[in-house]
Amino acid sequence: MTAASRPARGDRGDGAGDRVAGAGDRGYPHGGGRDGASPPPADASPAHAAVELCGIRLRHPIVNASGTFDAIAARRVFGDELVTRFPFSAFVSKTVTLAPRQGNAPPRLWELPAGLINSIGLPNRGLDGYIEHDLPELARLPVPLIVNVMGFHRDEVVRLVSELSARDEVAALELNVSCPNVETGLVMGADPGETARLLDAVRPLTDKPLIVKLTPNASDVPAVALAAQRAGADAVSLINTLRGMALHPATGRPWLGGRTGGVSGPSVRAIALAQVDAVRAAVDIPIVAMGGVSSGRHALDLIRAGATLVAVGTESFRDPAAGERIAAELAAEQARVAPPRGRRDAG
Q: Which residues are catalytic?
A: 179
d(CA 115, CA 124): 24
- How many angstroms separate the Cα of 103 from the Cα of each of 19, 116, 204, 237? 12, 18, 31, 23
Radius of gyration of the chain (CA): 19
Amino acid in the structure at residue 127: L
Look at residue 147 and give its three-state secondary structure: strand
Alpha helices in the chain (DSSP H): 71-78, 81-84, 126-129, 135-138, 154-165, 192-202, 221-230, 269-282, 296-305, 315-318, 322-336
Query: In Å, what is the CA distance from 307 to each residue of 123, 272, 281, 302, 332?
Result: 29, 11, 11, 6, 18
- Closest of 323, 298, 318 to residue 42, by C-alpha: 323
The dihedral sign for the CA sequence 313, 318, 324, 329: negative
Q: How far apart are CA 151 and CA 184, in angstroms?
A: 13
Strand 235-238 relative to strand 287-290, pairing: parallel
